[in-house]
Amino acid sequence: MSGALIGLSASAQPVKPGYATVIRVKGTASYSLDGGAHKHPLVAGQFLESGAGIYTGDDGVVDVVLGRAQNLPQAAWSPDRISYAVDSPVRGLVSYQPSVEQNVVRVLSSSTLVIDKLTTVSSGVDTVSDTELDLKKGGIYASVKKLSPAAQYLVKTPTGIAGVRGTQFSITLNDDGTIKDVAVYQTKNDDGLVLAVTDGSGSTETYLIKAGEIWQPGIPNPVPITPQLRTILQTVFDTLRTPYYQEVNFDHKHHKHHESDDFGDD
C-alpha cells in the first residue's frame, strides 16, 4: 500500500502548478474557488488550478484533462475569439483533442470533485506529477497514464483513498459518502489500484484491485467485473479519447448499469 500511496520528491527543480482543462461539458455544471460558497458556470475550454471544485447537476457530465500548464493547448488571448473569465485561475481555449497518454477524468452527474493538489516537476527527460483529487459526492471515471516512480496520483473519498500508477478505473459513492464500488478496466502495469478503506470504527482495510476486477463493501476481495460492465467501461474510456468539439453521446444509459450489477453513478 505505502508504495502506491506515498509520493517521493523527484528533483530539485521548482514545482509548477498543473491545470485541469475542461474539454467537455454536458448539462448543468459549475466550479467554485472557495469551497462552494460562490459557483460559476463551467464551460468547455476553461482550466482550473488546485483548490477548484467541480459540481455537476442531475443532468451534468464534465470531462477534464490534468496536466502541465505549458503543455495545454491554451489559445492566444484573442478578443474576437475568446474572453477572460471573471477570475484569474480560469481561462479559455479554442479546441483540444486529448491523447491516450494523458490523465483524463469524467465527473458524473450529481457529483462534487475538488482538485486538492495538481503540480508538476521537471526531472531530466521526465515530468513528475503530483495529483490529489477529493471525490466528495457522486462518481468519476479516470484514465491515468503510466506514472514515473516518483509521481503520485491519489483519489480521496470520505471513507477511503485510492492510489494509482497507470490505470483506467471508476469510483462511485453512495448518498452518504461511503464507497459504493471501485472498478478497474485495465492497467498499464501489473500493480492495479490500491484502495484503503476506513470503516466506522476507524479500522482500515487495504485492497489491491487488478485489471478486470471490482470491489464493493461486504466482499473480502475484489471479484471479476461482469461482461456488461466491461463493455460499459470500454465505451466510456473510448469516448474520453475523442475531441470535445465532435458530437459525443452522453446518454446516461452508459452509466445506468447499477440496476443489474450494482455499479452506477446514481
Do 108 and 83 contact (CB within 8 A), yes or no? no
- pLDDT, residue 225, reads 96
**Which has more pLDDT, 123 or 227?**
227
Confidence of residue 127 (pLDDT cuts 50, 70, 90): low
Q: What residues pair up with 114 in beta bridges, in sequence order? A: 53, 134
Averaged pLDDT of the chain: 76
Higher-scoring residue by pLDDT: 22, 264: 22
Say yes or no to pLDDT of 218 above 60: yes
Q: Please report where in the chains the cell 466506522 appears, as a residue.
A: 200
| Residue 60 · residue 26 · CB < 8 Å | yes
Mean pLDDT along residues 81-91 = 43
pLDDT tens for each residue of 220-256 = 899 999 999 999 999 998 888 654 433 334 443 334 4
DSSP letters along 112-150, please? EEEEEEEEEEEETTEEEEEEEEEEEESEEEEE-PPPPTT
Query: For 6-157, where are the alpha helices, taking DSSP H only?
Result: none
Percentage above 90 pLDDT, the chain: 47
- pLDDT attached to residue 229: 94
Per-residue model confidence as pLDDT tens digits over 132-150: 999 999 999 999 887 777 7
216 contacts 160 by C-beta, under 8 angstroms: no
Does residue 69 register a pLDDT over 60? no
pLDDT digits (tens, 9 = 90+) for 10-48: 445 677 888 888 888 999 999 999 999 999 999 888 889
**pTM for the full model?**
0.77
- pLDDT, one tens digit per residue, over 246-263 is 333 444 333 443 333 332
State how far Cα 39 lies from the chain centre.
20
* Residue 71 DSSP class: G
pLDDT at 227: 95
pLDDT at 45: 81
Closest to 255 in 3D by CA, of 111, 72, 68: 111
- The answer to whether residues 127 and 101 touch, using CB atoms and an 8 Å cutoff, is no
